[in-house]
Chain A
């Protein structure tokens, strides 16, 4: 699986959009971009995933660059409950393993 690079930490003001970047320059054509988050002392929560098109759901939007070497997770209106560690993971469709990196610790500031 391709390796990912994320900033170790970020702050965002409550009510603003949180934009979390992820670099995955070695991603291959059949690998998906997945985003999970982990709130303290809980199991990871699935957020969104995509292959090459931008995706949006009730939680977030995923923007994937045209060359697929990087992506951005957008939380449109961050709340205090969005404080968590966010993991960007690259995995083959059908490859069941998810390899977690160190993620980005997002802190929402009141």
Chain B
């Protein structure tokens, strides 16, 4: 089946530094990838939609200058948390849409997540 990887799996950083998280589709091409954030005991919240070769679309309330998204190829999207603060500590999850799956690409596959802790 389709596999999505994320790197790193967990990261600890100091307040004020920037952290980059990579999301890769390993065996399929994804023109669209999605970034979610999940706080403890809460559901996943969509942050932004990442489109290959174009600017990302951010959900309401998500600061685009703080959460920089780059989708430079059909298999890689990156999320950079700039000037991270303790309140940015969360579980960040990406997903990728397989355009060729199921005869129409109606399924999304999720990465294993990246746990970010900002001290």
Which residues of A pack against B, CB within 8 Å?
A: 32, 34, 36, 38, 41-46, 49, 87, 93, 96-103
Contacts and interface: CB of A to CB of B under 8 A. Distances in A.
A49 B107 contact: yes
* Chain A facing B: main interface SS: loop
Given A96-B32, A101-B43, A43 B112 contact: yes
A46 B105 CA distance: 13
Given A32-B106, A42-B112, A97 B43 contact: no
B34 interface: yes
B35 to A, nearest CB: 12
Given A41-B113, A98-B46, 17 more contacts: A32-B106, A34-B107, A38-B44, A42-B112, A43-B95, A43-B110, A43-B112, A44-B95, A44-B110, A87-B43, A96-B97, A96-B108, A98-B95, A98-B108, A100-B36, A100-B43, A100-B45
Contact of B109 (A41, A46, A97, A99): A46
23 contacts: A34-B107, A38-B44, A41-B91, A41-B113, A42-B113, A43-B95, A43-B111, A43-B112, A44-B44, A44-B95, A46-B107, A46-B108, A49-B106, A87-B43, A93-B104, A93-B106, A96-B49, A99-B46, A100-B36, A100-B43, A100-B44, A100-B45, A103-B43
A3 to B, nearest CB: 13
B3 to A, nearest CB: 11
B49 A45 contact: no
Contact of B43 (A43, A45, A49, A102): A102
A87 B46 CA distance: 15
B81 interface: no
